[in-house]
């Protein structure tokens, strides 16, 4: 499992049908984090983007939920059409339906243009301001210049 990178969490999660059930939110976010962002192989099995291989016991141990809570949450997610599961002898493959809607990429490799710019600046050791930060800095500088002009009159 790749332990680097980031995921998107949309504010609409606050209005999700299960948003008021903490164990559902905890498990849902964990599934999105654990899902692979690119196709890969695991023990001869193809794991596609938006899928993960796990067990109920492992999800319980990682999340702090009981195995029964994990099963209940998975059942609810299946019933609401958010996941599909395929069970094998020793594992379950979980597919997050509409994964690309939750984790869309604009530039590929899981990064948007603005994030690539920020990461490039960080890689060179130079901080890079976002467009919003740059505009805010311009406004602040204009305000200071006006204030200095008034003070000098």
CATH number of 11-102: 1.10.10.10
User: Per residue in 94-145, pLDDT tens?
Assistant: 999 988 887 876 554 444 444 444 444 444 444 444 445 454 555 444 454 4
Residue with the bigger pLDDT between 126 and 31: it is 31
Please give the mean pLDDT across all residues of the chain. 76
Q: Which residues, 6 or more positions from 35, have their beta carbon under 8 angstroms from its beta carbon? A: 49, 50, 51, 52, 94, 96, 99, 103
Q: Is 51 helix (H, G, I), strand (E, B) or coil?
A: strand
pLDDT band of 2, cuts 50, 70, 90: low
Within 10 angstroms of residue 69's Cβ, the number of other Cβ atoms is 18
Q: In the chain, how many H helices and how many E strands? A: 6, 5
Phi, psi of 52 (to 5 degrees): -145, 155
What's this model's pTM, rounded to 2 decimal places?
A: 0.64
User: Per residue in 37-82, pLDDT tens?
Assistant: 889 999 988 999 999 999 999 999 999 999 999 999 999 999 999 9
Size of the chain, expressed as the number of residues it contains: 153
């Amino acid at each position: 499992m790749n332990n680097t990178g980031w995921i998107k969490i949309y504010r609409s999660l606050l209005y999700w049908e299960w948003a008021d059930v903490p164990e559902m939110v905890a498990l849902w976010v964990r599934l999105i984090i654990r899902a692979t962002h690119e196709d890969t192989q695991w023990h001869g099995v193809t794991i596609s983007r938006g899928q993960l291989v796990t067990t109920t016991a492992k999800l319980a141990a990682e999340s702090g939920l009981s195995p029964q809570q994990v099963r209940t949450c998975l059942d609810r997610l299946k019933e609401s059409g958010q996941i599909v599961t395929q069970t094998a002898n020793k594992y379950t493959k979980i597919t997050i339906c509409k994964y690309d809607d939750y984790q869309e990429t604009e530039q590929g490799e899981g990064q948007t243009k603005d994030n690539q710019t920020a990461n490039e600046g960080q890689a060179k050791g130079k901080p890079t301001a976002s467009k919003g930060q740059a505009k805010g800095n311009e406004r602040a500088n204009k305000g200071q210049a006006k204030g200095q002009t008034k003070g000098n009159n």
